[in-house]
Amino acid sequence: MAQRALPQSVARLGRAVRTAGAPVEVSGVVLLLPDGETDSRRRPSPLSYAAQLPLARMLARAGCGEGLAVHVVRYRSRGWNPGADPVADARWAADEVQRRYGDIPVCLVGHGMGGRAALRAGGHAAVTSVLAMAPWLPEAAGPEPEPVKHLAGRRVLIVHGTNDARTNPELSYRLAERAKKNNRDTCRFEVHSDGQALRQHRAEVVALAADFVRGSLFAGSYARPVEDAFAAPPPLGLRMPLAAGFGRSLRY
């Protein structure tokens, strides 16, 4: 009889991903929050961690000169579950960053379930910015809508494929619309014809993520499309198309 895998007792930070030649001192941290399942107490799959490493390396390379470190968060279990377990894990991870590195800015970057966790945990005192990619936002999230007021004072970027059959892009638009009312530093990009994994225009998505991370953590300038998205009122700033070639237009 197969035994059910028990969840790990505590969340953990994966090894810091950095690039050769980066300053010794860490000046900013990205916490990558993987996707998961709606309801599961099993240990996270090693594949969910490994799937984040290419993005971790690309972000670390983009922020090499500024002293960026990237950690993938290892959840206690692979499910959201009734207690929103990944949110507690993300908050613990932000606390751990402060313990290890001191008072430095943190950017939460999540995909799918991790995108929802990043948005929920974005009110942590160390968090200055949130990037949610194809965030999982169920139609029936309970009697109250997803909270957004705690995101005030943070830079918030949502990226969603228009052909996503797993996570409804219209729901992320509605959340962004509500968040924009309390926080003008909220924008959302639509990746036309792309699905939940955002593979079709991967180069553009990664370039957008890198530009956002560098600008929000290190007070640098954003690429023109990102600046325009933050400045534009709804619905323009929430339905910005991610143009093909965006990735090729940036140099790090």
- At position 207, the amino acid (one-letter code) is A
219 vs 108, higher pLDDT? 108
| 19 pLDDT higher than 70 | yes
- Domain map (residue ranges) of the chain: 26-244
Percent of the chain topping pLDDT 70: 92
Residue 7 banded pLDDT, cuts 50, 70, 90: low
31: nearest Cα among 101, 78, 83: 101
- pLDDT at res. 252: 44
- pLDDT at res. 6: 58
d(CA 199, CA 196): 8
Q: What is the pTM of this model?
A: 0.93
Residue 241 backbone dihedrals phi, psi, to 5 degrees: -80, 140
For 94, the token pair is: 């932000």
Residue range 52-101, pLDDT digits in tens: 999 999 999 999 999 999 999 999 999 999 999 999 999 999 999 999 99
Rounded to the nearest 10 degrees, the angle between the axes of helix 202-217 and helix 53-62 is 50
- pLDDT at res. 114: 97
150 vs 195, higher pLDDT? 150
Could you say which architecture CATH assigns to the domain 26-244?
Answer: 3-Layer(aba) Sandwich (3.40)
Q: Calculate mean pLDDT across residues 153-173.
A: 93
Residue 194 banded pLDDT, cuts 50, 70, 90: confident
